[in-house]
Structure 1
Amino acid sequence: MEDIIRGLKSLGLSGYEAKAYLTLLDKGDLSAEDLSRNSDIPLPRVYAVIDELSVKGFVKIIEGRPKLFEAIEPEEALNNYTSYLERRLKEDIERRRKEALRSLPKLKEVYWRNRLKITPEKLSEELSSLRDMEIKTIEIMSSANRSIDVFTSHFKWLSKVEDILKSAVSRNVNVRVLMQIDDKDSAERALRLLKIGVNVRNSCEAWYPTRGTIVDNSKLIYLIWVSDPAKMGGPTVYKPQYTENEGLIAVFRESFENRWLKSRDPIENIRSM
Structure 2
Amino acid sequence: MRLEEVRGVLEDAELSPYQAKTFLALLKLGDASVSEIVENCVVPQPRIYDVLRSLDEKGFIETYEEDSLRARVVDPDTLVDELETKSERYAAAAEKIDSVWEQPPIGEHHIEIFNDFKQVVRNAIDGIQRANDSVTIAANGSEFLQLKSALMAAKQNGIVVQLSIHLEQSSNTDIDDLEPYLKDAASEVRYRHSSSPFLTLVDANRSYFGVPRRGRGYGMFVQDQALSSMLFRYFQDSLWGRWDVVYSDRSETFPKKFTDIRSCLTELIPHLESGERLIATINGYETGTGSETTIEGQIIDVVPDPDSDSSIYESREVTIVVETEDGTYDVGGFGAVVEDIRATLITIEDSA
TM normalised by structure 1 equals 0.44
Higher relative contact order (CA 8 A, sep 6+): 1
TM normalised by structure 2 equals 0.35
Between structures 1 and 2, the one with greater helix share: 1
